[in-house]
Copies of this chain bind each other. A is one copy, B any other.
Amino acid sequence: MNKIIEQLTQRRSIRQFTGAEVKHDHLVTILQAGQQAPSSINGQQISLVITHNRERIARIAEIAGGQLQVATADMFITLVIDFNRTSMATEQSDLSHIIEQSAEGILTGAVDAGIMLNALQTAANSLGYGSTAIGGIRNNPQAMIDLLQLPEKTYPVAGMTLGVPDAKNKPQIKPRIPMASFAMCERYDSDIVRQGVEEYDQTLRCWWDQQDMPEQPSYKALVSGFYSRIYFPQVAETLEKQGFRFQDTLSESD
């Protein structure tokens, strides 16, 4: 068990901060580590916008649905799918940049953002900082686009808090679904996945009870509540407004 495995297997989302600042040289190191993450075709189609200004962080907290963990973080990092960059790289050719007008382009951007987000969080964690991945900015993507002044062909797909963890309120590691129902050999097995859901529903119920938080939902209740509605209903329309399109074929007129 090396330090990296130790850190990754004990990873938890940090939502309570002391208010202390992230050191500038640490921030630079975290960004360097994040930037070294791989990207599809080496397109480097992810940009970051770092928010440090208190009023602007407060605004992001509000955009994300009123999240105290965002408002009290020292910094907020927004991961932006950036086909503006790659589009600029294409300008001097005779070719039109169209990848953002495809499901492939949108998936590539989102996967690359996730890859980099994890690298940033892992680096930050190793330096003693805490963080939580924030999808909540997709609650009001247009407000993020306006706040960060994002041009066409870019999209604020995810974010993360960054700050010094409050050691007095360090959360316990949340249990996971059974390994066999998560990682399957050679073929997907719906029966094992179903067994895993049943088992985990109990596991999570017990865990919350142990945390003295019986009001927190079990897995089934949690998922049923969130996924029976489109909880962030402005994503497709704001993607389209930014020039993204979810299709496989372009007509001649495109």
A185 contact from B1, B52, B85, B196, Cβ within 8 A: B52
Are A35 and B182 in contact, CB atoms less than 8 angstroms apart?
yes
**Cβ contacts A111-140/B at 8 Å (1 or 0 each):** 111111111011101110000110100100
- Cβ of A209 to closest chain B Cβ, rounded Å: 16
Are B117 and A119 in contact, CB atoms less than 8 angstroms apart?
no
- Cβ of A201 to closest chain B Cβ, rounded Å: 7
Interface 9-mer from A62-70, A87-95, A162-170: A87-95
Are A104 and B193 in contact, CB atoms less than 8 angstroms apart?
no
**Cβ contacts A172-195/B at 8 Å (1 or 0 each):** 011011010111111110100110
Kindly state the separation between the CA atoms of A98 and B177 in the bound complex, as whole angstroms. 22
Copies in the complex: 2
Q: Which residues on B sit within 8 Å (CB–CB) of A48?
A: 182-184
A2 contact from B85, B127, B158, Cβ within 8 A: B127
Are A33 and B5 in contact, CB atoms less than 8 angstroms apart?
yes
Does A107 interact with chain B (Cβ within 8 Å)? yes
Kindly state the separation between the CA atoms of A247 and B238 in the bound complex, as whole angstroms. 11
Q: Knowing A4-B126, A36-B11, A50-B184 touch, does A111 contact B157 (C-beta < 8 A)?
A: yes
A188 contact from B49, B105, B117, B204, Cβ within 8 A: B49
For chain A, the count of residues having a C-beta within 8 Å of the partner chain is: 133
Kindly state the separation between the CA atoms of A174 and B219 in the bound complex, as whole angstroms. 42
Within 8 A of B (CB), among A13-45: 13, 28-29, 31-38, 40-44
Does A206 interact with chain B (Cβ within 8 Å)? no
- Cβ of A106 to closest chain B Cβ, rounded Å: 8
Q: Which residues on B sit within 8 Å (CB–CB) of A222?
A: 41-43
A31 contact from B105, B113, B179, B250, Cβ within 8 A: B179
A8 contact from B122, B138, B185, B237, Cβ within 8 A: B122
Are B118 and A114 in contact, CB atoms less than 8 angstroms apart?
yes
A-B CB contact pairs (8 Å), 14 listed: A4-B126, A8-B119, A9-B36, A40-B133, A44-B200, A49-B188, A84-B193, A93-B224, A99-B226, A102-B236, A112-B114, A115-B133, A149-B188, A230-B249
